[in-house]
Amino acid sequence: MQPLSSTTTVFIQRDTRAWQFQAWASFAIAVFLCATGLSWLPGEALDRAFMVMGYVFCLSTAFMLSKFVRDSQQAAERGSEAARDVPMWKLVVWGSFFTAMGLTGWGLVRMEINEAYKAFLGVSWLFLISSAFTLAKTLRDRHEADIAEARMQGRRMARAEAAAAAATE
């Protein structure tokens, strides 16, 4: 890696405030729709509890999968074998996501409720998962931009200190 010269221009890409708002708003709307649908879910209390657990399981595995895929991609780009996850972790992450999605879908299909209600719950559930992936990406992009900016600031300070030290000699 070569040190940055004073003429090197570094561009740190950040999402716009509008995009960040849209990601958060979509996620909030999806959570609201799912919570509304699940809170008014007709039927047995056990069915409601199963569906709430399924939605929470799906949501947490969506964030976990998003992080795993991003980390794996970055490790591959760096060519770092040490930073890659073990194959069993890959199985756990993907298996958890598909298990959560499959069990929740199975629970939704097997419930004895109105088809329109099933459609509402299904669409709001898929909207929740989609918006979770989008939000995870947005948060990770912001974090990476913050790190890059902090590194640039550290380099600027180091160059300024080196220049001040050279001037006093």
Instruction: Tell me: pLDDT of 167 over 50.
Output: yes
| DSSP conformation letters of 4-34 | PPTT---------HHHHHHHHHHHHHHHHHH
Instruction: Tell me: pLDDT of 7 over 70.
Output: no
pLDDT at residue number 3: 52
> Quick one: three-class SS letters along 102-143?
HHHHHHHHHCCCCHHHHHHHHHHHHHHHHHHHHHHHHHHHHH
pLDDT at residue number 8: 66
pLDDT at residue number 5: 52
Highest mean pLDDT among 20-24, 44-48, 82-86: 20-24
